[in-house]
Structure 1
């Protein structure tokens, strides 16, 4: 009677699956807060008019590595158009993409990565406004799918910040 040896570890025979997106780090790249009318702006109790702008950009380091930056600009002014505060935050993360087709880059860089960065950027904005003496500015969730579609439309269907061909110098 002959016995066959047990099969080798099947998991070892399988190629390791590479994650489609790897976050290497996230950081405040730029933070600016201006409170030009302090302390008067903190004494007056008027309902401010808020303006908020969110943008996503990226910068490519090599074929698979990118810096994705979430820029949040917020300002408040009195009904008389006097400024209360101006805030600008650039919160970024460095990511690598796995073995993916080029058409998958856009959604990962302009939708998924900003979704990962947004809660942290939102907390920075809330803390900065609170530390400046104002109620914390809690930004509502952002529809990054709609923002991505707007960016594609504005760039004629091309994804900004991603090279079409090989990256680097020949």
Structure 2
């Protein structure tokens, strides 16, 4: 237990008498599954396949400020797997987090929200997808490759500015 009141977290993030952290900082206050869907429409036939499935994956990130000074981040991951023309599984996960950010210049907040915050959420979302595919009967479970959120952010900014988006190497694009 601490001497600080958890209700004061948003308005008074630093205990009385303590110095605020120097430089940029953020805290993950909570994480949650906002929406989740797993479909295995051809089971058990989809569990018996040869070769490597074709994977179609999408990644979306959204950030929203709140009246209490906190930020909500949504990381949406969509995965469709097929073997030939037969669907194997489809997953949609909307995983969120509530963040407190301080000591960051106004011009850098968007990068924190759309690069650093999703980077902290991703391992937990990855585990949910791996567990769902394992529970769905797929062995080995589907493991998402690490995502380069900085490259995704840069591609998104280029697309918004009308420039052609350059691929960020292997991995998903933006939806």
TM-score normalised according to structure 1 size: 0.77
1:14–1:84 distance in 2 versus 1, CA, 3 Å: closer
Q: Is this contact kept in 2: 1:64–1:98, CA < 8 A? A: no
Moved over 4 A (4+): 12-15
**Which structure is larger by alpha-carbon Rg, 1 or 2?**
1
Partner of 1:41: 46
1:89–1:14 distance in 2 versus 1, CA, 3 Å: closer
TM-score normalised according to structure 2 size: 0.75
2:142 equivalent among 137, 146, 157: 137
Counterpart Cα distance in 2 of 1:63 and 1:150 = 31
Compare 44-53 and 115-124 and name the one that shifted more: 44-53
Partner of 2:62: 57
Counterpart Cα distance in 2 of 1:14 and 1:85 = 51
1:38–1:13 distance in 2 versus 1, CA, 3 Å: closer
Q: Flag structure 1 segments of 5+ consecutive residues without an equivalent.
A: 1-11, 158-170
Counterpart Cα distance in 2 of 1:123 and 1:95 = 20
**Is residue 152 of structure 1 aligned with residue 145 of structure 2?**
no
Report how many aligned residue pairs link the two structures. Answer: 145
Tell me the C-alpha RMSD between the 2 structures: 2.2
Partner of 2:116: 112
Question: Secondary structure at the residue paired with 2:79?
Answer: strand
Question: Secondary structure at the residue paired with 1:149?
Answer: helix
